[in-house]
Structures are given as structure tokens and as C-alpha cells.
Amino acid sequence: MTDRLLTVEQAAQLLGTTTRFPRRLIAERRITFVKVGRHVRIPEGALADFVAANTVQPIVTCRRRLGVVA
């Protein structure tokens, strides 16, 4: 096991959210988590995978010069 196990609070801090968001991800089974007794931990890699899977790339458009007549 190479991934560090994060608490919900640590995961929220890394995501820049409140603890409610990672708890909701866990409840909806949208992120991988580990139960250690009654404690819930999120592998650091699972958090990185979640962010990567939900990253939206910008649309690259070609800018045309205005006012230039060909």
C-alpha cells in the first residue's frame, strides 16, 4: 500500500471544500474509500483520480484578426 490514507477533513482541505463534499462523494459511492473500523479514509490516489476524471479541458479556438480584408 503506497497511498497515504486521508481523513475526510484532510481530503476536504486538499479539494478546497468543506467536509460535507467528500462525505457526499462517499455516500454516493463516487470516490473510492476505505473503512477502518468505524473510521472512513480516502486514499490519496483515489482523490487524484477523482480530480483528473472531473477535470474539464478548455476549448481552443482560432482567433481571427478583425478588420483585415484579404
Let me know: does 52 contact 61? Beta carbons within 8 Å. no
Among candidate residues 61, 70, 67, 8, the one with its CA nearest the CA of residue 35: 8
Sequence spans of domains, the chain:
5-53
Distances in Å between the alpha carbon of 29 and those of 25, 34, 42, 61, 70?
A: 6, 11, 12, 36, 57
41 neighbors 1 (Cβ within 8 angstroms): no
Task: Provide the pLDDT confidence category of residue 66 given band limits of 50, 70 and 90.
Answer: low
CA atoms within 13 A on the CB side of 8: 15
pLDDT in tens, 15-60: 999 999 999 999 999 999 999 999 999 999 999 999 999 999 998 8
